[in-house]
Amino acid sequence: SARFIPENEPLDVFWVSLRDNIVPQMAVAVRRDALLAVGGYEESLRYAEDYDLWLRLAQRHVRFVCSYRVTANYRGHEAQATEQPLELIWGAYQARRRVFDSVARDDPATAERVGEEIRGVWERLLREAWRSRDPEFFGLALKIGDLVPGAARRQRRWQRARVLWPVWLAATRLWDRVPPGARRALRAPLRGLLGLS
């Protein structure tokens, strides 16, 4: 969380939290009254239930305080949720959608901004998934569009682009064979040709 918020300064982190899960669950302390006020963990969520909780706390403008001190050890094992990255990504978007739905009922102006933030995070995920060359990851990123407010048009555009997936994979395999110096020399002209500059 050091990348996102300064140390020992109580802050409203709602917008930052909407973009990224900034709270390591194993190293957090929460006031009991705040936890009870938001209803604790949502038991229906299998993945990212902690992220859902932090979002609901941040949404209520509970102040978060970051410490840069090491307060926990982390030990991984094959059965833990972090070994299921695609499910965690799906769970995070379920949590974001729950925030949007709760805001949309009471505050349309804020809901619009929340929707824009979620769409921005989703667009970055789509680009990351496309560049990953992992069809399962990209398929999930496309499916997540179902959870993203106002994403239908962009989702259809990305689905049409998916037809180019085999061409993209072949081109990236060729690109990987180009020596690094030649890649640097070709990058700017190619970006211009593709309208990306």
Q: 124 and 104 in contact (C-beta within 8 Å)?
A: no
- The predicted model scores a pTM of 0.79
- Whether 142 contacts 86, CB under 8 Å: no
Which among 161, 124, 164, 158 is positioned nearest to 143, based on CA atoms?
A: 158
Q: What Cα–Cα distance (Å) separates residue 51 from each residue in 108, 150, 152, 183? A: 23, 22, 25, 40
Q: What is the pLDDT along the chain (197 residues), one digit of tens a residue?
A: 445 677 788 888 899 999 998 887 777 888 899 989 999 999 888 888 999 999 999 998 778 888 787 777 766 656 555 667 899 999 999 999 999 999 998 899 999 999 999 999 999 999 999 888 898 999 999 999 999 999 999 988 888 888 888 887 888 888 888 888 888 888 887 777 766 55
Count other Cβ atoms within 10 Å, centred on residue 48: 23
Question: Tens of pLDDT along 4-52?
Answer: 677 788 888 899 999 998 887 777 888 899 989 999 999 888 888 999 9
